Structure 1
């Protein structure tokens, strides 16, 4: 397989995964598999939720495609790479940026990321399988871009040291 074909296959698979994720989220997770996905829509004290098991399906599919296509680096290998790339982006955008499961990213000044966050919050307003909207991950309805552009971006404010912290610094100097 040529480099151009490999890149095209990976990119097409990545982009196709957005549609597949939207479709699965809307019709399967908010349908017959709601009993697993529900854990993602309700508050709970746990670090993990039943919804987290869905990564096993896509991760296994990606791994199998990579393994069976690795010897010849055929289309299966590059499709597996595309699925793995989408899964990595999904984890970073959804779990880290939106839900803050790893707390190293706070507020963003990016209009796109703020629109994405607003859309996702609208999705989570519904705690039942019905009446949700915005099922995609990376594609955001234009109305959320309009809202994100109207709402001012957060400013970064450095915390002023408290009097107690200032005394501690002076004492240690």
Structure 2
């Protein structure tokens, strides 16, 4: 498969995964698969939660696409790459930056990352299946971007200080 087409399939899959993650989170994880996702909305002392099975499911799907994708000669190999890249970004943003499951990242002053954190905190305001908002990961509602920018401006020292 030509490199440009492979890159296009990978990027399109990555972009689609943001919509897919939002849809699955809102309608499936907060719906029929709440039994798995609930573990993510309650405090617990365990390093692993039932919700982590979603990583296993998408990882297995991605691996199957890699294995059957002819080492990049078939388009679905690159779909697997897009899913894997989105999964890696999801893990880093959601589990490392937002939830601090690996404690090597300090709080960021970046307005976008602060907005992501705010939106996610709004999602976790409720511990139940219903009543949550903000189901996406990388797309942030403009209201949280405005809030994060306003906070950054209040904290920024004036010129000459």
Query: What TM-score comes out, normalization by structure 2 length?
Result: 0.93
Residue 71 of structure 1, CA deviation: 4.0
Equivalent residue number for residue 74 of structure 2: 74
Larger Rg: 1
Equivalent pair of 2:72/2:78 in contact (CA under 8 Å): no
Equivalent residue number for residue 27 of structure 1: 27
Deviations 1:107-131 (A, max 9, x none): 1011100000000000000111111
Equivalent residue number for residue 143 of structure 2: 143
Equivalent residue number for residue 134 of structure 1: 134
Secondary structure at the counterpart of residue 123 of structure 2: helix
Equivalent residue number for residue 119 of structure 1: 119
Equivalent residue number for residue 62 of structure 1: 62
State the distance in 1 between where 2:35 and 2:133 align: 18
Equivalent pair of 2:30/2:129 in contact (CA under 8 Å): yes
Residue 152 of structure 1, CA deviation: 2.9
State the distance in 2 between where 1:107 and 1:152 align: 13
Matched length: 155
Residue 72 of structure 1, CA deviation: 5.3
Residue 151 of structure 1, CA deviation: 1.1
Deviations 1:16-48 (A, max 9, x none): 000000000000000001111011001111111
State the distance in 2 between where 1:47 and 1:71 align: 34
Unaligned stretches of 5+ in structure 2?
157-161
* 1:90 and 2:99 correspond: no
Unaligned stretches of 5+ in structure 1?
156-173
Equivalent residue number for residue 159 of structure 1: none
State the distance in 2 between where 1:45 and 1:69 align: 40
